[in-house]
Structure 1
Amino acid sequence: MPARFGNHARTVSNRIALYAMHAAEQQGVGPQLFAARTGISAPDLQDPKGRIDAERHRRMTDLMAELRPRLDLHTAQSMGLFPDFPVLGSLCLNARTAREAIVAFLDYRALIGEFDFLLFRPQAGQSSFEYIAEFAPNTGFQALSNFLVLAQLIRSYDQGARTLFRVELVGPSIGMADLAECFGAPVRFDAAVNRMTLSSAQLDIPFAQYNASLAPFLLGQAQQELARIQRLHLFSAQVENVIAELLHADSGDVRKASLLAQICERLGTSRWTLHRQLQQEGVHFSELETRVKVSEARRLLSQTRWSLGQISEQLGFSSQSAFTRFFKSQHELAPLAFRQRAHG
């Protein structure tokens, strides 16, 4: 399967890798060996909003398929959307019905990860989910994790009898006898597909705790977070990050022509290709340069005691007056006035 979706590279939350690292350690694979096998090290897991690229996710999935770590009942029952994915959890747990909660989960599942395929097939009597794994497709552990989360979500909307799930997974048993307690029925392994089936009877019963006033805010949060994740791996975001790194450097020529040359060298591309790729994303290099310089100017003015001359030189302006004109054009405030306001 391709590692790109639309015009951005697909990723998965590093929270998945964090759990995988802990599971691997229980199987005797320490963090150093885990990093060697997957390319994922402890620093990659420090930021709760961090993401893992396709290749490292594939390597991690292959390692988990090889280790086949045992899933204990406590871990299985605690699988849910909180605390690791509170934006998605808040949206899914404030729907008008269980069916709408499922749709919200499917629409914003990319907040967890953009790999694999989760299909929902609603019918009058029974509905089902099918999980198709892109990596390690002959094992069912990835499907199992998703089914456990979905089961917990759907049961949050139970209005009476506890929803029961019939689960089938490809591959051999994971060696956990208590899975029947999680789903309400024994899990069948070595199946042809990863499938979870449930009664449709309660899917459209109104949820008494639904907060209509809060719903638009929660949806907006999810939309913003999804846009942030997708933007992280746009080519324009890579260019913007390199501009920021070069401007943060203590030395070097950051005038426009030199800055552009350094960026092309860093990204291993030509100027023509760089401009063409940015054009495809609807942005120009000068816009990115301006955005980064404005952000860095704000930081230097509010967080340092640097003179305007020093800031001007750091950001690659030909003179202090040129920097002042640039800053005023973006803020309608002179740099010193901005500094005074920032310091209260």
Structure 2
Amino acid sequence: MPDSTPLRGSVPSSYVLLLYDHLRHQGYDATVLLGQPPPSQEDTPGRTPITEWKRLLERAAAALDNPALGLRLGQQITPAYFGLMGYVLLACPHLGAALQRLRDFERLFYDVSPLRVQYTDDALVLEWGTENGRPGVLVDEAAISALVHMARDITGQPQISPCRIDFVNAASCPKAAYAEILGCAVHFEQSATRVHVPLTWLAQPLRQADPQLLQLLQQQAAEQLRRLPPRGALSARIRDEMPALLQQGAAHADAVAQRLHVSPRSLHRQLAREGLRFGALRDECLHQLACDYLADWRLQLSEIAQLLGYSEQSAFTRAFRRWHGCSPHQYRKQLRTEAGPGI
């Protein structure tokens, strides 16, 4: 029986940039193919709802007729695409320490179902269940392929591989592709997604270990983690879903409640327990998204108004004046001045 748990959570927007870069290197106009511009690089450390990440991967895989897109995408990973946490991992002394940081800061890597860690006689097992829904084969395969190739990158050992990998999904492509890309036995339709890491890996030194830099980066990562809403909080789920709902013109309480599989009354009651009102939370999301979009110089003001669900640019301008005390044009002009002559 299919898992009906509503999918919720988010991933770093840098993962989405990896998809855009991959498509561009394949000769495609990613903005046209995916129907929207990439996340602004000024939006670091931006977050993308897991539902949106799933949709973008599925659209790209269908356009390319490539069911193995997730596996192939993971092969292109570098520390930069993990954002701040990529450099945290790279600065660790050995792979065991890097995997511990993965556990400590897991929500900055992949904020969907929580990571569980256990040991067997010969392996460290990283496991993700389906408590917060099933993102699907492309999301799961991209994440696990990226994890394997990140380990190869930071150790400088391209030949190392896990003992075994389990996926909750069926295979997306011929099984030979999994052996080629992941380098180990792979099992499908399992109770959870797991990566079995050989204990002999853990002492493997990393190619750019830097204890002093690691301490500084961990402080920054801890601050990013502190800013994330509590896992499972309704307000966090609404913030995750708001960009897509705004573009669909469905960012009102009844539509949000339907999307999150709660009644409108329950939505308002749960938000009240968090000390929030829906209208104020919606305005907060609109304001933050507007500032993020205005930092992307490629977007016209009319396009930003449309992304935020406004039928007219003038309505967006009035709302932005109310939030920020100036017009969107004035705000963008100030950003350009602060950024300097290179922009």
| Alignment TM-score, normalising by the size of structure 1 | 0.51
SS at match of 1:42: coil
Q: 1:121, CA displacement in angstroms?
A: 2.1
Matched, 1:185 2:180: no
Question: Is 2:74–2:147's contact at 8 Å kept on the other side of the alignment?
Answer: no
Distance of aligned partners of 1:43 and 1:92 in 2 relative to their CA distance in 1, 3 Å threshold = closer
SS at match of 1:171: coil
Give the gaps of 5 or more residues in structure 2. Answer: 239-268, 277-283, 285-320, 323-343
Residue correspondence of structure 1 range 99-110 to structure 2 within 5 A: 99-110=96-107
Question: Is 2:71–2:141's contact at 8 Å kept on the other side of the alignment?
Answer: no
Distance of aligned partners of 1:53 and 1:96 in 2 relative to their CA distance in 1, 3 Å threshold = same
Of 100, 122, 128, 1:131 maps to 128
Aligned equivalents of 2:21, 2:159: Cα separation in 1: 32
State the match for 1:70 in structure 2: 68
Matched, 1:174 2:173: yes
Q: 1:141, CA displacement in angstroms?
A: 2.9
Name the amino acid aligned to 2:165: V
Aligned equivalents of 2:134, 2:7: Cα separation in 1: 15
Aligned equivalents of 1:33, 1:159: Cα separation in 2: 34
Distance of aligned partners of 1:227 and 1:2 in 2 relative to their CA distance in 1, 3 Å threshold = farther
Q: 1:61, CA displacement in angstroms?
A: 6.7
State the match for 1:145 in structure 2: 142
Aligned equivalents of 2:220, 2:171: Cα separation in 1: 39
Give the gaps of 5 or more residues in structure 1. Answer: 5-9, 36-40, 239-272, 281-287, 289-313, 316-344
SS at match of 1:106: helix
Of 77, 80, 83, 1:79 maps to 77
Larger radius of gyration between Structure 1 and Structure 2: 1
Aligned equivalents of 2:22, 2:207: Cα separation in 1: 38
Q: 1:219, CA displacement in angstroms?
A: 0.4
SS at match of 1:167: strand
Matched, 1:120 2:117: yes
Aligned equivalents of 2:114, 2:103: Cα separation in 1: 10
Point out which structure has higher relative CO (alpha carbons under 8 A, 6+ apart): 2
The count of residues paired between Structure 1 and Structure 2 equals 244
Aligned equivalents of 1:22, 1:196: Cα separation in 2: 27
Q: 1:89, CA displacement in angstroms?
A: 0.9
Question: Is 2:71–2:142's contact at 8 Å kept on the other side of the alignment?
Answer: no
SS at match of 1:79: coil
Deviations 1:50-70 (A, max 9, x none): 323365456557767987633
Question: Is 2:13–2:48's contact at 8 Å kept on the other side of the alignment?
Answer: yes
Aligned equivalents of 1:60, 1:218: Cα separation in 2: 30
Question: Is 1:129–1:196's contact at 8 Å kept on the other side of the alignment?
Answer: yes
Aligned equivalents of 2:148, 2:67: Cα separation in 1: 21
State the match for 1:214 in structure 2: 213
Aligned equivalents of 2:235, 2:157: Cα separation in 1: 50
Q: 1:151, CA displacement in angstroms?
A: 1.8
Name the amino acid aligned to 1:167: I
State the match for 2:47 in structure 1: 51
Q: Percent identity?
A: 20
| Alignment TM-score, normalising by the size of structure 2 | 0.51
Name the amino acid aligned to 2:152: R
SS at match of 1:187: strand
Name the amino acid aligned to 1:168: D
